[in-house]
């Protein structure tokens, strides 16, 4: 991975046009070709990014990043403060905690507990931006991406949103909708999911295991 701290301006040309005026920023250039531009704030989400595969043309004062769709990032370089490259090696990927991993296993065995007519296509469906927990088909044959958490927060909704954006670029899969499943889902996460047109399902771990539920019921 290459990390560059620099003074730069950035423009995007593609589905729309966007521009970042001159400022000090961090550019991450990953070995797979992914390029992301970060500010010193805003949590983990970059200001602009281009997922792999990309073609990068470098010159002393400009980078031009182009993807197969013809979208472009133009990075105008004013001053470079730091430019380092690090070899990461093979990453083992995300290791889920025991409950979360078991939830995924149980839902893979019984996807209809989330929605009637849902059938499993692939567990841990690999993408260039990470594995989708479950990729399913609904009763109409449409693809459904499912993200599973023990406690569902805004980060999980953002994660599923990125998967959906990526999967809906694949003509063999689209349209792909999302289901965010967790034992507990925070109100803010439910609100964001609704805004993103992502369904939310709160799941009962005990019921999935065939045990008597410990969740309180009205009747």
**Cα(52)–Cα(32) distance, integer angstroms:** 6
User: What's the pLDDT band for 103 if we cut at 50, 70, 90?
Assistant: confident
User: What's the pLDDT band for 179 if we cut at 50, 70, 90?
Assistant: very high
| pTM for this prediction | 0.57
Could you give the C-alpha distances from 198 to 44, 134, 185, in angstroms and in order? 21, 15, 13
Q: Among the three residues 85, 111, 126, which one is the final residue of a domain in this structure?
A: 85
- Estimate to the nearest angstrom the gap between the alpha carbon of 97 and the chain centroid: 19
- 114 and 181 assigned to the same domain: yes
* Token output for 53: 């595969």
Q: Is residue 157 a part of any domain in this protein? A: yes
Whether residue 123 has pLDDT greater than 70: yes
Domain encompassing residue 23: 2-85
**Cα(106)–Cα(209) distance, integer angstroms:** 7
Nearest alpha carbon to residue 44 among 200, 146, 162: 162
- 80 and 104 assigned to the same domain: no
Burial of 82 (0-12, 13-18, 19+ CB in 10 A): exposed
Paired with 9 in beta bridges are 76
Structural domains in the chain (count): 2
Tell me the three state secondary structure of residue 14: coil
What is the rounded average pLDDT of the residues 99-106?
82
What is the tens place of the pLDDT at every residue in 35-54? 999 998 876 788 998 888 88
Task: Identify the CATH number of the domain in which residue 204 sits.
Answer: 3.40.1350.10
């Amino acid at each position: 991975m290459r990390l560059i701290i620099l003074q730069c301006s950035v423009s995007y040309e593609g589905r729309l046009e966007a521009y970042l005026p001159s400022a000090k920023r961090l550019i991450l250039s990953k070995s797979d070709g992914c390029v992301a531009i970060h500010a010193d704030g805003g949590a983990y989400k970059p200001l602009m990014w281009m997922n792999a595969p990309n073609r990068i043309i470098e010159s002393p004062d400009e980078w031009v990043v182009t993807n197969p769709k013809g979208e472009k990032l133009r990075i105008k370089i004013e001053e470079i403060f730091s430019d380092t490259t690090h070899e990461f090696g093979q990453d083992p990927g995300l290791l889920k905690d025991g409950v979360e991993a078991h939830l995924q296993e149980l839902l893979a065995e019984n996807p209809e507990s989330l929605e009637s007519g849902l059938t499993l296509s692939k567990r841990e469906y690999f993408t260039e931006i990470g594995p989708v927990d479950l990729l399913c088909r609904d009763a109409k044959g449409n693809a459904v991406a499912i993200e599973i958490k023990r406690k569902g927060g805004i980060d999980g909704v953002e994660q599923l949103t990125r998967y959906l954006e990526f999967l809906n670029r694949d003509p063999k899969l689209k349209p792909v909708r999302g289901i965010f499943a967790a034992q507990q889902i925070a109100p803010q996460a439910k609100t964001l999911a609704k805004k993103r047109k992502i369904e939310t399902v709160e799941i009962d771990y005990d019921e999935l295991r065939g045990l008597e539920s410990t969740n309180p019921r009205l009747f």
